[in-house]
Structures are given as C-alpha cells and as structure tokens.
Amino acid sequence: MQRFTEKVVATMKGAGLYASQGGPIILSQIENEYGNIDASYGAPGKSYIRWAAGMAVALDTGVPWVMCQQADTPAPLINTCNGFYCDQFTPSLSSRPKLWTENWSGWFLSFGGAVPYRPTEDLAFAVARFYQRGGTLQNYYMYHGGTNFGRSSGGPFISTSYDYDAPIDEYGLVRQPKWGHLRDVHKAIKMCEPALIATDPSYMSLGQNAEAHVYKAGSLCAAFLANIDNQSDKTVTFNGKAYKLPAWSVSILPDCKNVVLNTAQINSQVASTQMRNLGFSTQASDGSSVEAELASSTWSYAVEPVGITKENAMTKPGLMEQINTTADASDFLWYSTSIIVAGDEPYLNGSQSNLLVNSLGHVLQVFVNGKFAGSSKGSATSSLISLTTPVTLVPGKNKIDLLSATVGLTNYGAFFDLVGAGITGPVKLTGPKGTLDLSSADWTYQIGLRGEDLHLYNPSEASPEWSKFTTPAGDDPVAIDFTGMGKGEAWVNGQSIGRYWPTNIAPQSGCVNSCNYRGPYSASKCQKKCGQPSQILYHVPRSFLQPGSNDIVLFEQFGGDPSKISFTTKQTESVCAHVSEDHPDQIDSWISPQQKLQRSGPALRLECPKEGQVISSIKFASFGTPSGTCGSYSHGECSSSQALAVAQEACVGVSSCSVPVSAKNFGDPCRGVTKSLVVEAACS
C-alpha cells in the first residue's frame, strides 16, 4: 500500500498538480470507510489507521489529507462523512471543516433487484441542509453514472449498468430535472457565499420541526429556513415575515429576506426520454443488409465444450476455493471428477441418484456425462447455492463436471478477502440406501473457457466470421437490448460491453408507482421495474463503434436467441416543466443578494437539449390545476382556455422560451386557488 500511495503522490507532484505547487488538487484521501469495519480487527485495526495517517502525512503533499467515515482520524487528517445525509455530521475536532465526501445521488443496481432511484427534491434537501448546518464541501457520488465494462463490476451481482440515478446518466446525458434543480441549488448557495465564509450559523426555532440557521456578519446576512416534517407543509414567521415551507424542504434566502429557491419547488425542466428500437441490421456475406427477424441466419457459432479441454488443467484432492485458484483471470472454473458405477451402489435407485452441490456462488451449472443436469444461482443478498438435482448414471465410468461462475467479486467489508467463491462442498450423490461423498475425491480444475483462450471475442484474432452490423446513424447514445438472451458477456469490435443477464428478474413486490420524496431516503425506498428484468439495455459507447461494418460476439451461458436482440438509441421525446404561482422566481433573475430587484414572479422555462434544435410543437399546455408527469399530463377541474395558445406563441420556433406563470398571462380560471402552469414541448 505504501509503494502504491508513494507512486500516486510522486506522479501528481511530477505533474505539478497539488495546490501547494499551483495546481488544482486541494485534498488527498487515504483509506475509505475503514471506520465502518475496523472494530472487527480490534487493536491491529486502530494501529493500521495510525500507520496509514502517518505514512500519508510524511509524503508532504502540501495539501490536507482526509479519511472518510473514520471518526477517530488521527490529527492532522480530517475525518469526513459519506451517506445520503450528512447535515448532522460533526467533525471529531472543532477546528476541522465539515466535509461531505460522498453524497449518494442514488444507489447501484443489482442483477435480480429492482431499479433504485432517489427523488430530486430529497437530494436537493440533503444538500441545502448540509450547508444550512455549517457544511464546507460537498461532493456527489455519483455525479456522472457509468458502465461496468468487461468484468469490472464493483461487487457480487452488481449489474453492468452503474447509472446510479446520477445527474448525468450512464449515457452522458443530463438527467432532468435532477441536473437542473441541483444546478439551481448550487447557484443559490453560491449567492450566500459572502456570509457563509464570514461566520458560523446561529440557530433559531421556527416551531415544531421548523428551524432557521442564519449567517450574519456585519451587513452580510444569509438564511436557510427548513421544514423537516415529512408530512405537513408549514407557514413560519422569520424576521417578521411569513414564509411557506413545503414538508421536507429548505428555503434559501441569500439576503435573509427573499427566497431564491426552495428545494421542494422545482423550476427546471423535465426531460422525457425513450429508447428507440432500431432492430438489428446486420450484413450478409454478399454485403446486403439483413433485418432483425432474419438475423439468426447471419450468426456464426462456436460451441464451448463441457469439462476439461486444456493441457494446463490440474488435478488435486478435495474442492479448491475459486478466487485463489483462478486469481480472477476468468469468471469461470471447471471442477471435474469421475466415478465407476457397478449398478448396485446404495446411492442409486435403479440408474437414478440425487446430486447435491453446495457452493459459495455465484452461478453453478451441473453436467453429467456431458449432458446438462441442472443449474442454480445466488443473489446480491446471499451468494450461497445449495443445488439438489436428479441425475442418471450408467454402468461403468461416469463423468461429473461442475462449472462455477462469479459475477463480480466481494471488495468491501471486514475480512472480505476471506469470503471466497466457488464450490465449497459437500458434493454428494444420495439415494434411498446411502450416500457417496465426493468432496475429498480427486478433482481436475480448469481455469476459464476454451473460447477465452482462443480469444474468440476478438474478431481480429479469432477464426470464425462473427455476425456483423452497421453503426446506427446519428449521434444519439447507443445500447443493445438483450431481450431473448440468457446470461453471458458481449463484445463489440473486441471490446467487452460487460456481462448481460436479462433473465435475472426483480422481485414482484417493493416498487411504488410514485415515490414520495418526503422523509428519510434509503436504498430500498424508491424502486421501479419490479417483476421485470433488472437490466435489458447495455451501453455501447460510440467510441467502440467504427464506420461501416462492426463485429459483435456473444458468449451465452444458458442459451438464447440472438435474432431477438436489437439496437436502440436514447432520444429526448419531450421537454416539460411544471411551475406554480407560489414558486420562487427563476434563479437567474436574481443578480445578487445585495441588489434589490422588482419581483417579476415565477416563470416556466423550456430549452431544447441539443444545439441547433428548436421547439417544433407544444404537445400539452394547461394553466390551473393540472396533474400528471411529463408525457402523461392531464387538465384539472380548473383550466385556462388560453394556455395552449400562449405557450405556442412564446415557444414554437425558438430553442428556448420563458413563460410568466400568472393570471395576467392566462386569465384566472379559478380565483382563490394557487394555480400551476404545465407545458410539454417537442424539439426538432
């Protein structure tokens, strides 16, 4: 670890990147979340932390070092917070700044799990609360979602997609309204900066579950008003003025008077995206295009043999742990043994027996005499497998081949290096009169598959002529829909786009149609796609593609129909916004907290996502009490007849538009009711 850390620091110093050298690096980190597990190691764990801190400081970077989630971080290092909320975190020493190194914008997806997401309003609330209560630095994890290409997933059963519901998604597109609303939150906090850096906040109760924190130094004043009730909206009095605070929200007042933003009131637009299915256009040998329904005729196949085929296979007594055996050179490890059957063995019932295999996981396939006999898999919550499957044995020699596969390796937790994987046993044949335990028998081991050794995934090295396809036109992000396939790995032009597993289905329960952002968030609170495949779409970066012909290679472990897979592109279908009369003005209408402006009122703004696009049509517009979400809005009982015409006049033919949200603009369809404006537009 010391050699590694010294190498990193030397590289940074050599490039002049530390702030002490005039560069951009202002912090360095040593260790990560070790404090969550160090109790399991007792005194040596504490000794290790002291050593790590001393080793880091001795490298003399000229910038502070931090330790995340380590309450007893040795001085002069700074302990920091990771989590969904860090407003109540307090540094171990009062002289240390309050740092939030991982603000979790969502949660990771597991194969076999529902898709988690974190509401925008809650994430914004967490950010504002942190700065309200004296926060100094906040960092998102993740701000840009990603993809676990190849075999790089960060733990057992973690999916290939690592989108994380981040403000910028896995495909590099901004996720609205999360990206836009967080942008506005940080603009509002930036407006408070002169007061925030001048003093510490003072606390003021505004009633039950309502409070203010005020940063005041001389003529500088900034305030945060919070309603931490997770059910009821409140009207509070602050400095003699009434303020409406929605439940679970923070209002930011850069001048201690005017609300420039409330975390529960989103002014930024929403983007409705769709994955457009392009089919799977392949190229036949004569160069002609073949559409998806005929694609099966263009595929070449290589059958992976069952059992041991490599000369470097090794035979040892007993069952070996998989990770230490493979050194993670492959997901796969073959276990092979054979037995001689006379026909009267106590574990037989005629020619039948039951084969029991226990494994640490993650996926197990059983073959007897070269024929498939059963399979099982673990899960993200438990990798353990206990498979009992009926098998048919023949007189004489019988061969038993077990294929164990990992799906990402454990990389966190106390003693995670000892968790292991693979077939641990027992492995037994059982019948009505007895049992044969094969656990201590001689087993032959083969690391990986023959196709891996032959580099069949790389068309430039492999002899088969694999299926070819043409690059989808345009510049929209590309994905492959693996509907129809089982489990495996895919390569495009020799580059792995990751493991696919569309047959791993999420539980039927645990999802909600609409997640209430109010109240503490957890990884299981807001989930979607219950009862559906955890992941169907797999990102193919356009940098992996080339003009003209491209190769695609699939390794399919369970059997599938490649003619059913298709290409998709991610496109913005609509841009929408929903702004009410009691929303604050758009953040950009405030020039500075010190400058008194004439209140212009809230406004709805729309902007096409791509340069060169203009708003071509208004799909829906309503001023009154509309409801629904982008793509499925409906008019309420109260609706202005002028809404569509006003929106069309303001927005059609331009790349962006702003529409004041007021009865002056639309007429008043229902007096005494707080009204909203909803607009859905198409860009082209």
Residues acting as catalytic residues: 33, 102
Instruction: Say if residue 197 is exposed, middle or buried (CB neighbours under 10 Å; 0-12, 13-18, 19+).
Output: exposed
Question: How many CB atoms sit inside 10 A of residue 469's CB?
Answer: 21
Q: Vertex 273, ends 272 and 275: CA angle to 5°?
A: 155
Q: Integer distance in angstroms from the first to the last C-alpha of the chain?
A: 53
User: What does the alpha-carbon distance between residue 620 and residue 632 come to, in Å, rounded to a whole number?
Assistant: 9
User: What does the alpha-carbon distance between residue 281 and residue 567 come to, in Å, rounded to a whole number?
Assistant: 8
User: What does the alpha-carbon distance between residue 322 and residue 339 come to, in Å, rounded to a whole number?
Assistant: 23
Question: How many CB atoms sit inside 10 A of residue 254's CB?
Answer: 28
User: What does the alpha-carbon distance between residue 318 and residue 437 come to, in Å, rounded to a whole number?
Assistant: 11
User: What does the alpha-carbon distance between residue 427 and residue 337 come to, in Å, rounded to a whole number?
Assistant: 11
Q: What are the residues whose beta carbons fall under 8 Å from the beta carbon of 130, sequence distance 6 or more?
A: 85, 86, 87, 98, 100, 103, 138
Question: How many CB atoms sit inside 10 A of residue 385's CB?
Answer: 21
> 298 to each of 175, 484, 682, how far by Cα in Å?
37, 17, 38
User: What does the alpha-carbon distance between residue 554 and residue 301 come to, in Å, rounded to a whole number?
Assistant: 9
Q: Give how far the C-alpha of residue 534 lies from the chain's centroid of Cα atoms, to the nearest Å.
A: 12
CB-based contact 124:132 (threshold 8 Å): no
β-strands 78-83, 65-68 pairing: parallel
Q: What are the residues whose beta carbons fall under 8 Å from the beta carbon of 673, sequence distance 6 or more?
A: 624, 625, 638
Q: Which amino acid is at 16?
A: G
122: left (phi over 0), alpha (psi -120 to 50) or beta: alpha
Q: What SS3 class is residue 152?
A: coil
User: What does the alpha-carbon distance between residue 490 and residue 555 come to, in Å, rounded to a whole number?
Assistant: 6
> 570 to each of 477, 480, 540, how far by Cα in Å?
5, 11, 11
User: What does the alpha-carbon distance between residue 634 and residue 22 come to, in Å, rounded to a whole number?
Assistant: 56
Structure tokens belonging to residue 432: 């009505």
CA torsion 528-363-463-327 (nearest 10°) is 110
Structure tokens belonging to residue 518: 């109010």
User: What does the alpha-carbon distance between residue 623 and residue 635 come to, in Å, rounded to a whole number?
Assistant: 8
327: left (phi over 0), alpha (psi -120 to 50) or beta: left
Structure tokens belonging to residue 606: 């729309």
SS3 per-residue string spanning 451-476 = HHHCCCCCCCCCCCCCEEEECCCCCC
